[in-house]
Amino acid sequence: MTQPVKQIENTLKIIKMKTDMVPKIGIILGTGLGRLVNNINISNSISYKDLPHFPLSTVESHEGRLIFGKLSGKSVVCMQGRFHHYEGYGMKEVTFPVRVLKKLGANILIVSNAAGGLNPLFERGDVMLITDHINMLPENPLRGANDESLGPRFPDMIEVYKRDYIKLFEKIALEEKIPIKKGVYVSLPGPCFETPAEYRMLRIIGADAVGMSTVPEVIVARHMGMEVLGISIITDMGLPDILEPVSHEIVIKAAEEAEPKLAKLVTAFVKAL
Ligand code: HPA
């Protein structure tokens, strides 16, 4: 089985003992979206520790809890803390929470990440709407026997990031007078950042931004028929000829600086949905 349905059911059972909310929207509070929590009218929060089959985050900047509440009047469930392949988790562990979000009722997934900019027209601090992705991670979360009750064996990937959401988000950005960029996100395993030669290669193959997350969760979301909005915060520039050193601290600082504008945009987006 792709993802043991029994495990999802076990987790749902525990969640439903704590809340009867049926969230319409799932949000992964990746780097850059942390501050969105302040705009949520929280009704319940459950630590990942208390959820069977949920992995535990090993990255300091990522907390580990599911938050239930209202954002712009809409019922949402947020993952505060997400999982990465580089932490040592298998792809099924990384994506298990997304399966749970969908089974709770969320048909929409909003996901954010920190990314290195590859497009020379980008700048540190930019918000980039993800229009498409390239998967360079070593394992696909759908590998293994497929459970048809979760999704098809061979899901198509022609419109992973919903075009209508991209259009709506662009309209909101215009109204809020916050400039945004659009582009293709490529996911690499990490945890080391890229060499100059790698940054150059990634630009050549068509990517505008590079990171270490998002693609597995989005593949699983699409497998289950969720509609996806993806956003990157450009935290550093990967221009091979003028490369400056990058560190986790630099990434976090740039993401924190961009958080207020992203929180504002996503709050307005959810309102408009
Ligand atoms: N490379 C990979 N992942 C990243 C980067 C980068 O330059 N910046 C933030 N996450």
Distance CA 68, CA 40 (A): 9
What is the pTM (predicted TM-score) of this model?
0.94
74, 111, 129 from 45: Cα distances, Å: 16, 19, 28
Q: Which residue has the tokens 């459950």?
A: 46
Ligand 1 site, CB within 6 A: 114-116, 193-194, 210-212, 235-236, 238, 246, 251
Q: Ligand 1 centroid vs 51 CA: distance in angstroms?
A: 30
Helix (H, G, I), strand (E, B) or coil at 205: coil
Task: Give strand pairing partners of 68.
Answer: 44, 77
33-63: burial string, b at 16+ Cβ within 10 Å, e else: bbbbbeebeeeebbebeebebbbebebeebb
Q: CB–CB of 77/24 below 8 Å? A: no
Choice from 113, 136, 193 to test ligand 1 binding pocket (greatest atom count within 8 A of CB) = 193
Shortest-distance atom of ligand 1 to CA 251: 9
Q: What tokens were used for 181?
A: 């960029």
Q: CB–CB of 257/149 below 8 Å? A: no
Domains belonging to the chain, first-starting first, are 3-272 (3.40.50.1580)
Q: What tokens were used for 63?
A: 């907390």
Nearest CA to ligand 1 atom 5: 116
Q: CB–CB of 42/67 below 8 Å? A: yes
Nearest CA to ligand 1 atom 6: 116
* pLDDT values of the chain reduced to their tens digit, one per residue, 273 residues: 445 788 999 999 999 999 999 999 999 998 777 788 889 999 999 999 899 888 876 655 556 899 999 999 999 999 998 889 999 999 999 999 999 999 999 999 999 999 999 999 999 999 999 999 999 999 999 999 999 999 999 999 999 999 999 999 999 999 999 999 999 999 999 899 999 999 999 999 999 999 999 999 999 999 999 999 999 999 999 998 888 888 888 888 888 888 899 999 999 999 999
Distance CA 183, CA 252 (A): 21
The residue among 169, 121, 127 whose CA lies nearest residue 32 is: 127
Q: What tokens were used for 139?
A: 């394992």
- At 31, phi and psi to the nearest 5? -55, 130
Distance CA 178, CA 180 (A): 6
